[in-house]
Amino acid sequence: MAAKQRDISISEFFAKNRHLLGFDNPRKALLTAIKEAVDNSMDACEEAHILPEITVSIKQLTEKKFTITIKDNGPGIVSEQIPNIFAKLLYGSKFHSLKMSRGQQGIGISAAGMYGLLTTGEPVQIISRTDKRKKASHCHVQIDTSKNKPLVVLDEDCDFDLPTGTQVTITLEGKYQKGKQSVDEYLVQTAMANPHATIIYNLPDGSVYEYKQQSKKMPFVPVEIKPHPYGVELGLLYKMAKESTSKRLSAFLHHDFSRVSSNMAGGICKKAKLSKNARPASLSLKEAEVLHTAINETKIMAPPVNCIGPIGENELEQGLKRTVEAEFYAASTRKPSVYRGNPFLIEAAIAYGFKTAQNKSNGDGDDEDKQVQMELKRFANRVPLLYQQGACAIHKAVGEINWRNYSLSQSRGTLPMGPMVLMVHIASVWVPFTSESKEAIAHYPEIIKEIKLAVQECGRKLGIYLRKQKRIRQEMAKRGYIETYLPYIGEALQEILLLKDKQVETVVSRLKEVLEKTRQL
Ligand SMILES: Nc1ncnc2c1ncn2[C@@H]1O[C@H](COP(=O)(O)OP(=O)(O)OP(=O)(O)O)[C@@H](O)[C@H]1O
Ligand SMILES: [Mg+2]
């Protein structure tokens, strides 16, 4: 065995475990590769305060082989960075910063390129321009999986039709299929959660969809924050102290964490019986443990929340209206909250009574509406999540709500029945995904509680609407009965009061007039 021991490169590991990154089958692989590139384009544009204009093209080369191209009008990538970004796993600008962004791991686009290389042998092709006065860089790069290092196959200057931007082309084994977990669905939902973006989509059959920008308002541009002391575990605190550039313990606490004033830092050192002038780098593990306890015994303000931005109630409703034609809409955005020291925020929006379901169930009527289950659309930092719904904290929270309180039928722990779409969005500086493929949110109790509160707020508004609609329907039914029986009432009156036919007609038409007036009221 000793002779067999050797290093395993991260790329070899993920090449074998590609399902961990969302490349388990050809259909999902096509979606994941496009998703990684589009998410990066959106992040890059927003970071540079540019309203995103993104073109996604899929070309089918053979039955299983596809070429995808994603082009953006972002700031571009400096040519020296291109090989590492596209052909080295765990390389990126977002992992080390606590900032709300779609990407966070530094693995997405290089994994897509690696999957393309493994399945078709083709390198990733990139054109990127960072300055309108200069030519663009055109590179072909591929990953050396045994070393997790990039190999540059081609590097030259070229023309590009945008002043700045990036175009990525990957050839890969895939399968194009419409439906719930398709590229089409991902792009529709992306348009829903990003009203500030324009997305042009060239389908493999030659047709084009265009999701035009709905709002010229740049979404909230997030700022980076430092970790909150409550979210830092002992091992990390020890490591941060060792790596800190601060010379004194109190300065380390004040500068490397959020919400620790220099006064408070002094207080924490005193509580831990450590000198505030001690060198953080020479802290022993025992001392770090005492410091950790002292931190958790000190009352520290919650982390700043200006680092996360919601989509907004208006924008959420607009987003829903863009794709779902319904009779009732409601939205609700919660105030930011904190899990493990990380700020996060939940928002929800509901569209009830959408046309397709109504058609399916032949118009109104409670009983028929109950045949369809609610459609749940999950988003994390404005990215639609299409897989692993059952494993997601959003699904768990929505299933645990008692929807019967809002006049909807529901079996215990499942999604309620009704022709409706529910959108739930979590925005956070670090979204706790259950795996590297970023498909489901982990079950943190603080997150589940906030999801429930946001959805319940929408549910209450829906309940009020549904009860009102029910009252109106009952009223109409009552009037219907009266109208049906009106001629018989006339006949009975004739018999009782010995009225003439003419008089009966007058009584009946008078009653009809009264009914019509009350209906208009
Ligand atoms: N279109 C683009 N324009 C500008 N910069 C980009 C673009 N695509 C990628 N980048 C840069 O490349 C880095 C690596 O991208 P990659 O998708 O591999 O990781 P990530 O987005 O940081 O995290 P994740 O693995 O969660 O997607 C990004 O952090 C970003 O700095
Ligand atoms: Mg990414």
Residues 112 and 17 both lie in one domain: yes
Is 302 part of a structural domain of the chain?
A: no
CA of 38 to the centre of ligand 1 (A): 10
CA of 476 to the centre of ligand 2 (A): 55
CATH of the domain at 73: 3.30.565.10
Instruction: With beta carbons less than 8 A apart as the criterion, state whether 348 and 458 touch.
Output: yes
Nearest ligand (C-alpha, residue 21): 1
Q: Measuring CA to CA, which residue among 356, 339, 347 is closest to residue 315?
A: 347
Is 219 part of a structural domain of the chain?
A: no
| Pocket of ligand 1 contains residue 199 by CB under 6 Å | no
List, for residues 66-93, the tens digit of each pLDDT value.
Answer: 999 999 999 999 999 999 999 998 888 7
Instruction: With beta carbons less than 8 A apart as the criterion, state whether 46 and 218 touch.
Output: yes
- Looking at 445, 467, 489, the residue that finishes a domain is 467
| Pocket of ligand 1 contains residue 116 by CB under 6 Å | no
Is 306 part of a structural domain of the chain?
A: no
Is 62 part of a structural domain of the chain?
A: yes
| Pocket of ligand 1 contains residue 109 by CB under 6 Å | yes
Handedness of CA 313, 315, 321, 324 (dihedral sign): negative
| Pocket of ligand 1 contains residue 128 by CB under 6 Å | no
Residues 116 and 181 both lie in one domain: yes
CA distance 42 to 68: 17
Is 220 part of a structural domain of the chain?
A: no
Residues 150 and 28 both lie in one domain: yes
Is 307 part of a structural domain of the chain?
A: no
Provide the residue range defining the domain that includes 480: 472-520
CA distance 315 to 116: 36
CA distance 69 to 167: 7
State residue 304's pLDDT score. 82
Residues 240 and 280 both lie in one domain: yes
Residues 162 and 16 both lie in one domain: yes
| Pocket of ligand 1 contains residue 303 by CB under 6 Å | no
CA distance 500 to 487: 14
Looking at residue 49, the DSSP 8-state letter turns out to be: T
CA distance 85 to 91: 6
- Rounded to 5 degrees, φ, ψ at 126 are -130, 135
For atom 19 of ligand 1, which residue has the closest CA? Answer: 106
Nearest ligand (C-alpha, residue 93): 1
CA of 76 to the centre of ligand 1 (A): 11
What is the domain count for the chain? 4
CATH of the domain at 455: 3.30.230.10
Looking at residue 64, the DSSP 8-state letter turns out to be: S
Probe target for ligand 1 pocket from 85, 91, 382, 433, with the most ligand atoms within 8 Å of CB? 85
CA of 165 to the centre of ligand 1 (A): 13
| Pocket of ligand 1 contains residue 408 by CB under 6 Å | no
Burial 215-248 (b: 16+ CB within 10 A, else e): beeebbebeebbbbbbbbeeeebbebbeebebeb
State residue 361's pLDDT score. 38
CA of 255 to the centre of ligand 2 (A): 29
Instruction: With beta carbons less than 8 A apart as the criterion, state whether 54 and 71 touch.
Output: yes
Is 450 part of a structural domain of the chain?
A: yes
Residues 345 and 252 both lie in one domain: no
Probe target for ligand 1 pocket from 36, 43, 105, with the most ligand atoms within 8 Å of CB? 43
State residue 6's pLDDT score. 81
Residues 288 and 140 both lie in one domain: no
Residues 52 and 186 both lie in one domain: yes
Probe target for ligand 1 pocket from 39, 69, 109, 430, with the most ligand atoms within 8 Å of CB? 109
Residues 477 and 459 both lie in one domain: no
From the alpha carbon of 95, which atom of ligand 1 is closest?
A: 22
| Pocket of ligand 1 contains residue 94 by CB under 6 Å | yes
pTM for the model stands at: 0.84
CA of 17 to the centre of ligand 2 (A): 19
CATH of the domain at 286: 1.10.8
Residues 175 and 36 both lie in one domain: yes
Is 112 part of a structural domain of the chain?
A: yes
Question: How are the residues of the chain apportioned to helix, strand and coil, as percentages rounded to the nearest 5?
Answer: 45, 20, 35
For atom 2 of ligand 1, which residue has the closest CA? Answer: 41
Looking at residue 302, the DSSP 8-state letter turns out to be: P
Residues 123 and 174 both lie in one domain: yes
- Looking at 161, 185, 211, the residue that finishes a domain is 211
CA distance 53 to 50: 9
Full pLDDT tens readout for the chain, 521 residues: 888 888 888 888 888 888 888 899 999 999 999 999 999 999 999 999 999 999 999 999 999 999 999 999 999 999 999 999 999 988 887 777 788 889 988 889 999 999 999 999 999 999 999 999 999 999 999 999 989 999 999 999 999 999 999 999 999 999 999 999 999 999 999 998 998 999 999 999 999 999 998 888 888 778 888 888 988 889 889 989 999 999 999 999 999 999 999 999 999 999 999 999 999 999 999 999 999 999 999 999 888 877 888 999 999 998 888 888 999 999 999 988 888 888 999 999 999 997 654 444 334 444 444 478 999 999 999 999 999 999 999 999 999 999 999 989 998 889 999 999 999 999 999 999 998 889 999 999 999 999 999 999 999 999 999 999 888 888 888 777 777 777 777 777 777 776 667 777 787 788 778 777 766 65
| Pocket of ligand 1 contains residue 44 by CB under 6 Å | yes
List, for residues 204-231, the tens digit of each pLDDT value.
Answer: 999 999 999 888 888 877 888 888 898 8
Residues 333 and 350 both lie in one domain: yes
- Looking at 271, 297, 323, the residue that finishes a domain is 297
